[in-house]
Amino acid sequence: MPNSFIPVMEVTRGTLVESVHFGAAAVVDPAGRLIASLGDPGLVTYLRSSAKPFQALHFLELGGAQHFHWSDAEVALMCASHSGTDLHYQTVSSMQAKTGLQEADLQCGTHPPFHKPTALALAARGEAPTPNRHNCSGKHTGMLAQCVLRGLSKQNYLDFNHPVQQANLQTIAEMCDVPAEQIGLDIDGCSAPVHALPLYNAALGYARLSDPAGLPAERAEACRLITRAMRAHPEMVAGPDRLDTHLMRAAQGKLFSKMGAEGYQAVGVLPQAIPGRPALGITIKIADGDSDGRARNVVTLEILRQLGLTVPAVEGLEAFWDWKVRNWRKMEVGELRPCFQLQFH
Amino acid sequence: MPNSFIPVMEVTRGTLVESVHFGAAAVVDPAGRLIASLGDPGLVTYLRSSAKPFQALHFLELGGAQHFHWSDAEVALMCASHSGTDLHYQTVSSMQAKTGLQEADLQCGTHPPFHKPTALALAARGEAPTPNRHNCSGKHTGMLAQCVLRGLSKQNYLDFNHPVQQANLQTIAEMCDVPAEQIGLDIDGCSAPVHALPLYNAALGYARLSDPAGLPAERAEACRLITRAMRAHPEMVAGPDRLDTHLMRAAQGKLFSKMGAEGYQAVGVLPQAIPGRPALGITIKIADGDSDGRARNVVTLEILRQLGLTVPAVEGLEAFWDWKVRNWRKMEVGELRPCFQLQFH
């Protein structure tokens, strides 16, 4: 597994390379052609939260959003690792109210909001974070809404054998062209199932989300709803100062983007967003898990650049294109520097 | 440079390896024998804050601690990347008062204290962090105290050509057996010079700090003062819930330990702490910079174990020996797992 990775980003200080991140990536079109790669595109790893659009799909193709009158912003929050701001809290509460769910139904656990000012404000009020502040509360609400829609038990909705999880697994299998029994299952940070599959296959799934023309009509419609909702409501998918939100804003509809834990990143590029190119699915894994996100940010933007999609540095994305290393007095002492060339096939 | 590293720690989830950190290390005795290594012990990288004991040495061999009546706890703080607690703040203020220095003399910049409860308490009081809360304030106070002791200008004490920095560079060169002109110089997070040298040479310097019997008398005495102070006052060297502090407490005098930024770690093991072994210097670099410290923690403890130094899990070190990955509901979902065998020479 270590041999699957190649150096993808260097951190310099003065004239010396001080640190290096390793990674792997796959770029695939909806027909399953491997367009480009870094390291081993067959690397099997967990999608983590990058699976959320797939996990929303079955509920939506059953007509769940119309049934419960969920807005596009609420659909985007189903696919989110949100920052737990008041906006996110209110939106997930609204989804629950429309569906007859309670916050206490969520079995995701709790953590302080990713958004630091919100976390500080809660702490200042002496208020413990509740499940709706959890970055996965939209996904869990979607799973529970599928229970309600299908008349299934809510108590055990996270069990691998629960019909909701079985349906979501089957959807991932179909979208990514991997037999369900070959998908590695384990438990995520939020206690929901996680799915392990090759980078190539996950990228294929993102390509099909981006251009579902070849899929059955209900599924294609649900894919279009997801990508429309995420692109129209990037503030719901992540939050302030986070790559997914700022990248989608800056790309002005050309792509949708969803991070996962442990250095995973997926992007779906729409047809003709890169002139002459079909839709593309891109999946990236930073080997070390990239806990502060610096390698994910740089490698994602550089892969898009090498593919020919120049994303202007607007609306907050400047920070993600500014690859200087600064010290505590704001002196520039080094830089983050991609050190790969995509291998085109 | 990427070829200098080998896989050193895996992160599993269920039966799958989800992430992997790469690294390199050197273990050297005071005679310069390379006892063991991981990857390339010749890897040239910055010591960052692991250089602090060396940067304290010249001031101490000039008799600075006696001259200004600095306690051993204060000497330990010179060598620290402290957490900015009230104890650290008061101690560095005391050093400055005894030396005729002002907090405003420090040119390290500011950052919120590493110790989160302290950072929250400052924020709740609406109090901005001042330079003495900076993790390097003890080192800077030591550099300024050297200016006072030697009658040198304080205004430009961070310049590479300032006599304090020249003396500290020469001390590192001698301790690590590298010509001063071959040491790479650049600017650290705190605006002070950083020093790049091979892992082997930095480990040699730590071995000599641990057993300075072969050094000139004043230098040997200063080395013994540093290692005595750090081992006796581990709470000064880092802070609550940090590896250096808890490792030194648990090792009960057998070693001293000093982290650096970007995944650097150095440990000095005292003579006969491992039965039959001389003093050892150990230097470790995690390739990706290890921003959350998980690889540094595991690799450091595992290298000590493979060298034959079993550190009991006492006084807070349990947390560093507990290599389970838990999710937001405290379920065990994976583990941190060293994946190397030291190569003995």
Any A CB within 8 A of B2 CB: yes
pLDDT confidence of residue B120: 87
Q: Containing domain of residue B217, as a range?
A: 2-344
The whole-number pLDDT of residue B329 equals 82
Per-residue pLDDT at A17: 96
Cα distances from B337 to residues A44, A90, A188, A192, A280, in angstroms, run 19, 40, 19, 24, 36
CA–CA dist A54, A205 (Å, integer): 8
Interchain contact A288–B (C-beta under 8 A): yes
- Cα→Cα distances B276→A11, B55, B228, B302, B307, Å: 40, 31, 22, 19, 11
Interface check for B19 against chain A (CB to CB < 8 A): the answer is yes
Q: What does the pLDDT average to over B50-66?
A: 98
Strand ranges, E, within chain A: 6-13, 16-28, 34-38, 44-46, 184-187, 193-198, 255-260, 264-269, 280-286, 324-326, 332-338, 343-344
Q: Residue B34's pLDDT band (boundaries 50, 70, 90)?
A: very high
Chain A residue numbers touching B262 (CB-CB < 8 A): 11, 18-19
Angle at A17 between CA B45 and CA B32, to 5 degrees: 20
Query: Is B16's CB within 8 Å of A262's CB?
Result: no
Q: Which residues of A touch B16 (CB under 8 A)?
A: 44-46, 184, 186, 196
Other CB atoms within 10 A of residue A121 CB: 14
Cβ separation B191–A327 shorter than 8 A: yes
Distance from CA of A122 to the nearest CA of B (A): 12
* Partners of residue B187 in chain A, C-beta under 8 Å: 13-14, 327, 331, 333
CATH number of residue A113's parent domain: 3.40.710
Q: Are A265 and A259 in contact (CB under 8 A)?
A: yes
Alpha-carbon gap, residue A12 to A325, rounded angstroms:
8
pLDDT in tens, B238-277: 999 999 999 999 999 999 999 999 999 999 999 999 999 9
pLDDT of residue B315 exceeding 70, the answer is no
Is B13 at the interface with chain A, CB within 8 A?
yes
Tell me if chain B has a CB within 8 Å of the CB of A292.
yes
Say if residues A144 and A105 touch (Cβ distance below 8 Å): yes
Answer whether B22 sits within 8 Å of A191, measured CB to CB: no
- Give the pLDDT mean for B276-281: 96
Residue A121 contacts B, CB cutoff 8 Å? no
Q: Single out the residue of B222, B211, B213, B227 nearest to residue B277, CA to CA.
A: B211
**CB B111 to CB A185 under 8 A?**
no
Does B263 contact A at CB distance below 8 Å? yes
Any idea what DSSP says for residue A311?
P
CB–CB of A108 and B328 under 8 A? yes
Check pLDDT > 70 for residue A190.
yes
Q: Which contiguous run of DSSP H or E holds residue B269? A: strand B264-269
- Check residues A73 and A332 and name the one with the higher pLDDT: A73
Average pLDDT in chain B: 95
> For chain A, what is the domain count?
1
Nearest CB neighbour to A288, from listed B1, B21, B188:
B21
- Can you tell me the mean pLDDT for B224-237? 98
Per-residue pLDDT tens for A227-242?
999 999 999 999 999 9
Residue among B325, B207, B199, B300 at smallest CA distance from B250:
B300
φ, ψ of residue B271 in degrees (nearest 5): -55, 135
Query: Does residue B334 surpass a pLDDT of 80?
Result: yes
**Inter-chain contacts counted by CB atoms under 8 A, chains A and B:** 154
Closest alpha carbon within chain A to B119: A120
A44 lies within 8 A of chain B by CB: yes
Nearest to B141 by CA among B93, B69, B71, B72: B93
pLDDT of residue B287: 98
Do residues A193 and B13 touch, judged by C-beta distance below 8 A?
no
B residues 63-82 near A, CB within 8 Å?
Answer: none
Judged against a pLDDT cut of 80, whether residue B319 lies above it is answered with no
A298 inside 8 A of chain B by CB: no
* pLDDT, position A313: 64
Nearest to A109 among B189, B290, B328 (CB): B328
Chain A residue numbers touching B17 (CB-CB < 8 A)? 1
Q: pTM score, two decimals?
A: 0.96
Q: Comparing C-alpha atoms, which of A90, A129, A127 is closest to residue A109?
A: A129
- pLDDT for A192 equals 95
DSSP result, A234-254 = HHHHS-TT-HHHHHHHHHTTS
pLDDT given for residue B2 in this prediction:
75
Query: Which among A199, A215, A200 has a CA at the least distance from the CA of A260?
Result: A199
- Indicate the average pLDDT of chain A: 95
219-258 in chain A: CB under 8 A from chain B: none
What are the chain A neighbours of B120 within 8 Å (beta carbons)? 120, 123
Name the band, by pLDDT with cuts 50, 70 and 90, for residue B127: very high
pLDDT of B157 above 70? yes
Nearest residue in chain B measured CA to CA from A331: B191
Residue B16 contacts A, CB cutoff 8 Å: yes
Q: What span, in angstroms and rounded, lies between the C-alpha atoms of B233 and B256?
A: 10
**Residues A279-322 pLDDT 10s:** 999 999 999 999 999 999 999 999 999 999 987 766 567 777 78
Give me Rg for the CA atoms of chain B: 19
- Give the ipTM of the model, two decimals please: 0.95
Q: Report the residue of chain A nearest B263, measured CA to CA.
A: A19
Q: Is it the case that residue A129 has pLDDT exceeding 70? A: yes
- Do you know the residue count of chain B? 345
Residues of B whose CB is below 8 A from A10: 1
For testing contact with chain A, the best of B1, B10, B16, B18 (most A CBs within 10 A): B18
